[in-house]
Amino acid sequence: MKHNYEAVVIGTSSGGLAALSAIIPSLPKDFMPVIIIQHMSEDTENYLPIYLQTISKMHVKEAELNEKIVSGTVYISVPGYHILIEPDHTIAFSIDEKVHFARPSIDVLFESAADAYQDKLIGIILTGANADGSTGLKSIKEAGGLTIVQDPTSAEAAYMPQAAIDATTVDYILTLPQIRDFLIGLSEMQKDL
Strand partners for 3: none
**Cα dihedral: 58, 45, 77, 66 (round 10):** -90
Exactly one of 39, 77, 107, 134 is catalytic; which is it?
39
| Active-site hit among 82, 105, 107, 132 | 132
Please indicate whether residue 151 is annotated as part of the active site. Answer: no
Contact 95, 53 (CB under 8 A): no
Compute, in degrees rounded to 10, the torsion defined by CA atoms 116, 180, 105, 35. -50
Closest CA to 32 of 106, 101, 120, 108: 120
Out of 13, 56, 134, 139, pick the active-site residue.
13
Which regions of 110-184 does DSSP assign to beta strands (E)? 121-125, 146-150, 172-174
Q: Are 84 and 92 in contact (CB under 8 A)?
A: yes
Q: How far is the C-alpha of 67 from the C-alpha of 91, rounded, in Å?
A: 5
Could you give the C-alpha distances from 12 to 19, 36, 151, 182, 192, in angstroms and in order?
Answer: 8, 8, 13, 18, 31
Q: Are strands 82-85 and 91-94 parallel, antiparallel or unpaired?
A: antiparallel
132 is catalytic: yes
13 catalytic? Reply is yes
Q: Which residues are catalytic?
A: 13, 39, 132
